[in-house]
Amino acid sequence: MDQAGKPLDKPLFQPTQTMTRTKKTNDSPIASTNTAPASEIPAGEKASAHGKPVIYQMFPRLFSNTTTDCVPDGDIDRNGCGKMNDLTPKVLRSIKDLGATHVWYTGVIEHAHATDYSAYGIIPDNPYVVKGKAGSPYAISDYYDIDPDIAEDVPSRMEEFEALVKRTHQAGLKVLIDFVPNHVARRYHSDVAPARIEDFGQGDDSTYFFSPRNNFYYIPRQLFQPDFDIDDYNEFPAKASGNDCFNAFPTRNDWYETVKLNYGVDYGDGSRHFDPVPSTWFKMLHILRYWASKGIDGFRCDMVFMVPVEFWEWAIPQVKSHYPDLIFIAEIYNVGQYREFLDRGKFDYLYDKVNLYDTLRAVQCHHHSAATITDCWQRVDGIGPRMLNFLENHDEQRFASAEYAGDATKVLPSLIVSSMISTGPFMLYAGQELGEKAEDAEGFSGKDGRTTIFDYWSVPTLRRWFNNGKADGGQLSTVEKDLRGVYAHVMKMLNSEKALAEGEFFDLMYVNFGNPRFNPHRHYAFLRRSGDEVLLIAVNFSDKASELAINIPPLALGMYGVKEGIKKGKELISGRESDLTVSREEPFTTHIGPWGAVIWKFSASRNRRKNKTAAGK
């Protein structure tokens, strides 16, 4: 973008001017470090060759679908579908070149959909209790199988998945898949489960709302009858729906396509029945071990708080006893539960959606002050390295959508803060790096700023990047190519810079609230440090360029052993080099463009020369 904040067909990197640093007002204890000692880093991260996990989420169903004229609510024959075999070594190398360390393959386990695969021995789903033609990837219909939609040869779908895992590893990437523990599709049956594995619900006594021996919850003597037409679908007695809807009358806003699983909690009186261990626990443990045996590297676990933490406390250590490097990532939406699911539940990482994501969105879109970002790391102080941060995923609206920022070129401040505020994982969603706007009304999913997870569809930016299998970005616009370059530059930096991959964090906001040359409503600044390497990072959530003067407290200079004086500095986004003044006698100055950011790197111990004013002064 230019200095007025308008997008241009050129890279987003903003030219930066020199900086100096520091007179501070008080050494407040609110500016603290938030880095985990080695003993507290999850085993999966310590075992990784990568210091900081960078996760690329993709739907194989959507990623390589090249249909250019999809129609709303179109079936698979009309709208097409991406395949696992489309994810070639070239595609995977390109994802690796973005700076990714992991790929989360979303929607690969067999789930309910309207497409009829009965010719392959798969029981059809009733389309009236499926959301969209493609169905929700979280309405699992067979935990032991791969979804036939994404296979070129349906009978060989498991072999195609195993080959994809192998290709992904050969590209230097690790593999994550979903684990959906809370609910299943209304029609669940495994036709490929190992011998002696019973289906969920097999042997249940459906005359009870709750029994510790049942896998489902039932509404005795009541037909399943939602408030919309379900044609000839018959379920008697009705089962509780996945979103804890314990009646037979779900609405379209409920998870009516799913059935709630019973982990031993009686939601009628709140009692908990974990001794003897419920059969659902044993079935889910077997499923986790089954997929771990396929060579995957971790699970993104869906809606973990809807399952008792006692299950995770019991199951995860048993899985890790055989697969110690496997990582478990929890989707969770209550900050008050974070520590319990990390400590007792044994998760490696948690979504930080309701904390940092929501705050950054409020700063970007709703005039919340950038100073509120400080509250985010303080809420998770001590567990910050175990927070997974993101700006997009399949549940959220696209950053570039009209419903969010409306302009992909404004992403840099949010991207820098979200990815660099801690050593924890960062995730991006396929198409985010291209500025996908999600402007289509695809069918079941309307025009809501999200890329559909329910419909057969083709994502415009991904389609242009995929370029009919060439995977070269040949159809991208100049702006889209430049944006992808920005993402690649930032994502690679997360592991190439030790201060970001494993370093300490120091918030600079508390000494800049009264600073007339720093606006805490629109600016945010912090330090990262590893050994002798120090990074000063500042961002500008504004459409106006800023000339900042950032105070750095003596506390930070002392903690990091910073020798005051003139230093050789490099701005890591633009690549510009400059002399910098780091001193408690004057603030550190820098120019930041509209919706821009700077990352100044310098040595703590080495100065260039003495008694010289910094360039630009």
- pLDDT tens digits along 14-40: 433 333 333 333 334 344 444 443 334
pLDDT value, residue 609: 60
DSSP string, 562-573: PPPEEEEEEETT
The CA-atom distances, in angstroms, between 504 and each of 164, 485, 556, 586 are 37, 27, 11, 24
pLDDT value, residue 455: 98
H-type helices in 66-181, by residue range? Answer: 76-79, 89-97, 157-170
Beta bridge partners of 55: 102, 427
State both tokens at 26: 């008080």
pLDDT tens per residue across span 145-189: 999 999 999 999 999 999 999 999 999 999 999 999 999 999 999
Q: Which amino acid is at 369?
A: S
pLDDT at 613 over 60: no
Average pLDDT over residues 214-237: 97
pLDDT value, residue 610: 56
Average pLDDT over residues 254-279: 98
Long-range contacts of the stretch 318-324 (C-beta < 8 A, 24+): 318/285, 319/285, 319/288, 319/289, 319/292, 320/43, 320/346, 322/289, 322/292, 323/289, 323/292, 324/43, 324/47
Average pLDDT over residues 298-318: 98
Paired sense of beta strands 183-185 and 109-111, if any: unpaired
CATH number for the domain formed by residue range(s) 20-35+504-603: 2.60.40.1180
Q: Which amino acid is at 224?
A: F
H-type helices in 225-367, by residue range? Answer: 279-292, 309-322, 338-343, 358-365
pLDDT value, residue 608: 83
Consecutive H or E run containing 375: helix 373-379
Average pLDDT score, the chain: 92
Report how far Cα 36 is from the mean position of its chain's Cα atoms: 21
Domain ranges of the chain: 20-35+504-603, 38-199+208-215+274-496, 216-260
Residue that has been written with the tokens 């971790």 in this structure = 298
Average pLDDT over residues 226-246: 97
From 49, 334, 266, select the one nearest 174 (Cα to Cα): 49
pLDDT at 339 over 70: yes
Given a contact cutoff of 8 angstroms between Cβ atoms, the answer to whether 249 and 226 are in contact is yes
Non-local CB neighbours of 614 within 8 Å, separated by 6+ positions: 18, 19, 20, 566, 578, 579, 580, 581, 589
pLDDT tens per residue across span 348-359: 999 999 999 999
The better pLDDT of the pair 443, 15 is held by 443
Consecutive H or E run containing 592: strand 588-592
pLDDT tens per residue across span 54-100: 999 999 999 999 999 999 999 999 999 999 999 999 999 999 999 99
pLDDT at 48 over 90: no
Instruction: Report how far residue 176's alpha carbon sits from residue 165's, in angstroms, rounded to the nearest whole number.
Output: 10
Given a contact cutoff of 8 angstroms between Cβ atoms, the answer to whether 367 and 34 are in contact is no
Given a contact cutoff of 8 angstroms between Cβ atoms, the answer to whether 283 and 237 are in contact is no
366-376: string of b/e by CB count within 10 Å (b at 16+)?
Answer: eebbbbbbbeb
- Neighbouring C-beta atoms of residue 41, cutoff 10 Å: 19
pLDDT tens per residue across span 113-145: 999 999 999 999 999 999 999 999 999 999 999
Instruction: Report how far residue 128's alpha carbon sits from residue 118's, in angstroms, rounded to the nearest whole number.
Output: 17
The answer to whether the predicted template modeling score (pTM) of the entire model surpasses 0.85 is: yes
Instruction: Report how far residue 107's alpha carbon sits from residue 429's, in angstroms, rounded to the nearest whole number.
Output: 14
| CATH class assigned to 38-199+208-215+274-496 | alpha beta
pLDDT tens per residue across span 592-604: 999 999 999 999 9
pLDDT value, residue 612: 44
SS3 of 104-130: EECCCEEECCCCCCHHHCCCCCCHHHC
Instruction: Report how far residue 246's alpha carbon sits from residue 220's, in angstroms, rounded to the nearest whole number.
Output: 11
pLDDT value, residue 1: 32
Average pLDDT over residues 308-337: 98
pLDDT tens per residue across span 453-502: 999 999 999 999 999 999 999 999 999 999 999 999 999 999 999 999 99
What 3-state DSSP class applies to 53? Answer: coil
State both tokens at 419: 């990815």
